[in-house]
């Protein structure tokens, strides 16, 4: 059993994780990994205009992550109560607003967009591997999370999944 399963995770820990941990993993790590290989499109230590375009998806991804965390903090102002289901630890609330109106998995989408943006910005094939990992890992983890949410929220979750795409889009079916 994980340390957080069936426990209350305090709000300060969630805030610290997302203010420190998320930027470290999705900001500092891409920079460090980009140093391992050539930076295509860079000259004299500076990115080309095409590389700079990669910062647009990075910014969009961080903004989506911020909006998702805002939804989580609003739903659980005193912290998170996670319950172990036989599939996955699940929160005590079901998010359906904010970015969750458009995707059942906006955080996975944000992470993939961030890594693809860093790949373009740094012109790094090493980061292409990490972006591919992000794109592969989400679909492997998501079905298990979905089973846990369905076990916890039942019909409310089934209705949410029926009306919201798994990945992205305005109409059901675009992402499933």
**What value, to the nearest 5°, has the Cα angle with vertex 75 and ends 148 and 161?**
40
pTM, full prediction? 0.84
What percent of the chain clears pLDDT 90, i.e. is strictly above it? Answer: 49
Sorting pLDDT into bands at 50, 70 and 90, what band is 88? Answer: low
Burial label, 14 (beta-carbon count in 10 A; 0-12, 13-18, 19+)? middle
CATH topology of domain 8-163: 1.20.120
Q: What is the per-residue burial (b if ≥16 Cβ within 10 Å, else e) of 92-107?
A: eeebbebbbebbbbbb
Contact 116, 40 (CB under 8 A): no
pLDDT in tens, 18-35: 889 889 999 999 999 999
Instruction: With a cut of 70, say whether residue 65 has pLDDT above it.
Output: yes
Instruction: With a cut of 70, say whether residue 173 has pLDDT above it.
Output: no
pLDDT in tens, 30-58: 999 999 988 999 999 999 999 999 999 99
Contact 113, 64 (CB under 8 A): yes
Enumerate the H helices of 94-154 as residue ranges: 106-122, 125-153
Per DSSP (E only), the strands in 68-116 are 79-81, 83-84, 89-90
Q: Return the SS3 of 173.
A: coil
pLDDT in tens, 101-137: 999 999 988 988 999 999 999 999 888 877 777 777 7
């Amino acid at each position: 059993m994980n340390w957080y399963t069936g426990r209350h995770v305090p709000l300060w820990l969630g805030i610290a994780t997302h203010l420190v941990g998320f930027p470290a993993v999705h900001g500092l790590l891409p920079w460090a990994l980009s140093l391992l290989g050539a930076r295509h499109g860079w000259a004299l230590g500076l990115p080309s205009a095409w590389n700079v375009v990669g910062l647009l998806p990075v910014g969009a991804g961080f903004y989506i992550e911020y909006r998702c965390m805002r939804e989580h903090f609003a739903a659980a102002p005193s912290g998170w109560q996670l319950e172990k289901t036989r599939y996955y630890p699940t929160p005590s609330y079901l998010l359906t607003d904010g970015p969750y109106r458009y995707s059942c998995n906006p955080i996975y989408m944000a992470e993939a967009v961030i890594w693809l943006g860093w790949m373009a910005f740094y012109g790094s094939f090493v980061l292409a591997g990490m972006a591919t990992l992000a794109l592969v890992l989400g679909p492997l983890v998501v079905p298990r999370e979905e089973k846990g949410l369905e076990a916890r929220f039942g019909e409310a979750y089934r209705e949410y999944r029926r009306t919201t795409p798994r990945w992205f889009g305005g109409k059901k079916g675009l992402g499933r």
